[in-house]
A and B are shown apart, each in its own frame.
Chain A
Amino acid sequence: MWRKMPLLMTALMFGYAFLYGPIASLIVYSFNENRLVTVWSGFSTKWYAELLQNDQILGAAWLSVKIASVNASLAVILGTLAALALVRYKRFKGRQVMETMVTAPLVMPEVIIGLSLLLLFVAMERVLGWPEGRGQLTITIAHVTFSMAYVAVVVQSRLAHMDQSLEEAALDLGAKPRKVFFAITLPLITPALVAGWLLAFTLSMDDLVVASFVSGPGATTLPMVVYSSVRLGVSPQINALATIIVVTVSIAVAVAGVLMYRKEKRGL
């Protein structure tokens, strides 16, 4: 590799250094004793201890996890339905519009999604009296709206590459369509559903802009707390929080990777 294309490999290594350098610096300095984040004065875990006593951050983190789980589950259901509709039914009224609506949230700037949804919620509350105020519910609705698009894309590609002869065989053998769906289609697309759920979960955990627009005074998510504390300056507690997030995500991805690798090996 190196000998065949040294320039390319240098570019690749530079790219990885660029991607991981900042993350590595966060992790290293989360163990820094000094309050000034960039002055090293010895190893310490005191920022982790402080973080674990910070009720504001812990409360926000719990709220974010709750919203993200509900969001991911709803997004998987809706996104899968959208993917099924687009892959299985080539012709239906409003297909074009639906196709656009499924792709658009992937690229649409978050400020626009947030602003437009807030305007909708305000108008709905005035006319229908629902949703009452803004908070957990409105954030969840907003998150489902943009994360179901990501789920739909993931499931769509899985469905498109799936062998349909199994379903046809089951139907020929007299299985009811509902049974075929739950006994054959669903298990076959499960990896995509899991990937989509995880993606929707992280998107929701990570979202600052949309949540800021559609949340009320009672609901502050983790990114909102992080954002307000980051604007006040660099804080070692945030470094500790970042390290925890990075380590959790890396472990989750590694476990998922190993599981998938084993499954594939068994399947072959």
Chain B
Amino acid sequence: MAEQVLAADGRPLKASLNRALRRQKMRALMLIAPLLLFILVSFVMPIADMLFRSVENQIVGETLPRTVVELADWDAAGEAEPDAAVFEALARDLAIAVEEKSHTRLGSRLNYELTGVSSLFRKTGRSVDEIGETVQDALEDAAPIWKERSVFGGLLGTDDWTNAVDAWDETGTGPAFEARPEMQAVLPDTTSLYRSFTEIAMEAGDNPLTEKQLPIFFHVLAQEVTTAPTDGLSDAQAALFADVQTTVAGLTLDDPKALFVDIDEDWGSTDVWRTIQTYSPAYTDGYFLNSVDRLKGAEGAELRPENERIYITLFIRTMIMSFTITVSCILLGYPIAWLLANLPARKANLLMILVLLPFWTSLLVRTSAWKVLLQQQGVINDVLVWIGFVADDSRLQLINNQTGTIIAMTHILLPFMILPLYSVMQTIPPSYLRAAKSLGATNWTAFWRVYFPQSIPGIGAGSILVFILSIGYYITPEIVGGTKGVFISNRIAYHISSSLNWGLAAALGAILLAIVLIFYWAYDRIVGIDNVKLG
């Protein structure tokens, strides 16, 4: 058996070596840790967070938890609106949501899918506290105790909890609601509703025992108390129940369905309900469908009406124009890079400054300068008219269209093509060209067969830089692109800052990111990323 090689300290050499290497790796990791942490916190996490928004849809389930459960069995394909139980659940959810002011957010969310839902929720939210007023008035007339704001807290919450709330200084998170077990058993719905209410009140820093009671509590109490068994209750509780039963016995309870349909007849149609049902799950592909001009219909994804299709056009346009810009950059940048690499040092340096100066100038300044140059009463048109190339009344349309975007962006991205090309060309020994010529090649053959192949890594590096940069550009197209020269990123910016449809913006961004990765992968397969030289 071969003897193990031992290190000086008596350990096996292999283990000792591993340990030393591990220590080295740890040290290296510690050196890059600040940067890694910075990138994680400021770059990876925000992107991940933003991309997550493209599928996130918890808002419906969180705002309307009871409605979503009741609505699950409703037949969306049928003609009939949901039954009374769904409206009952909606009344409870909405009463809580209004207290939390979350119904308007949900309205805006669903308005992305169905026009008019936003105002429907706002309008309904204003009247939802009418439900329960009948019972509330009757009970308050029957016994003054119902006027007290702490009545539901005392009835449903344990003494420990009410004491804790009284002692609470209304900062930080308040004491979590604890239900009396016997009440939880006989009045489950009222208790659950009151629990939600306490959470919202305490979140806002309010004492739930001194907040105005919601009429919906009385409504739900009246429904439950008529059927509730009284065994397990104390005598006082049973007596209270009996009183409530007597008071509500002769009453006609408020009908949420009638009220909602009265507020807006849209509640009686199936469209709104179908939208709520379709978007009940916590995650949705709706934003991604929207990003490719589709929508969630009754039977899966379907194409949007023709006058709303825009995103596929924009994606294709972004690709084609970015490609055009890349090609123009190659055509314009290659000769300059060649000059830079082959002129005597002094002249090359001067030329280099001319390339770098615009590179260091503000993007907005350069774009605005193109505006002055390209517009119809601008410098270029003036010169063309002056030399008689175009007539004064038919000046060229060079801006606010695709031409404008391509010209301005080619100029702005040109340094990203020239610099990698230059650094690659610098490494090509001039003797190769001389050798080719001495062997009888013409100038063209020497360039095409000897020089050009060696400069391809520079073209590759420049192209991938320019192409990927231009795909995500939005300031320049916004300023000089008019309507036909804008990119998909302009819509992303619009949805982030104006329409606030962050889900859609995130989905569009995710698709754009995926496209870039696919191009990168394809590029790696065809050219090989190892062949890319930046210097």
Partners in one complex: no
